[in-house]
Amino acid sequence: MKVYFHMNLESFSNCYIVVNDKEKKALIIDPGKIRNEMIDQIEDGGYELVAALITHNHPGHIQGLETLKKIYDIAVYAADYNIAGSSSSVIKGDGTIKTAGLNVSYFAIPGHTPDSMVYKIGNVLFTGDTISAGRIGETSSSYSRKTLITGLKTKILTQQEDTLIMSGHGPLTSVGAERMFNTDLEL
């Protein structure tokens, strides 16, 4: 598995293309804005883009989805049916899917948004806006904040220390670093 990082400069959101070199398949996580370099990376690599994984329904994370659906026949995985309409596979709670020849675990962690999902592929967590380096996602109430922190503590911080966190905004971090330095995780 390889992960390629792309930043949407309009919303400063992160997008990731995950490829399975063995099967020459790829998936994309949070397609904020589709740029030529992204399409070239998929096409020049000879990859078949088969899926889009959406962490939550905010424009900076889904803006490019309609463009992708015009170019590729992809499955869309999200907790919000309205994101992708009939081509969507609505996922709820926690579970596992297999796409692009990869086992993808998913965890519902509401609080930032009701539909917030985290995806785990190998030892990498794609967390959207639930957690990023040194902070947690914004919430609209103290109840939402407590819900988010509880979900992060039970589903993210229980992962192995060297598990990487690739968030919806900001730099790469790890579970171990967040356990030690993320003061937002205190109730």
Q: Quick: pLDDT tens for 137-169.
A: 999 999 999 999 999 999 999 999 999 999 999
pLDDT(120) > 80 = yes
Q: What pLDDT sits at residue 83?
A: 82
Strand extents, DSSP E, 21-163: 25-29, 48-53, 75-78, 88-90, 95-99, 102-108, 117-121, 124-128, 131-132, 135-136
Query: What is each CA distance from 93 to 96, 117, 180, in whole angstroms?
Result: 10, 9, 27
Residue 177 belongs to what H/E stretch? helix 175-181
* Lowest mean pLDDT segment, chosen from 51-65, 85-99, 106-120: 85-99
The secondary element (H helix, E strand) that includes residue 20 is: strand 13-20
Which H or E run includes 15? strand 13-20
H or E stretch including 164?
A: strand 164-167
Both tokens assigned to 20: 């399975």
pLDDT in tens, 1-55: 999 999 988 889 999 999 999 999 999 999 999 999 999 999 999 999 999 999 9
Whole-model pTM? 0.95
Distance of CA 149 to the CA centre of its chain: 18
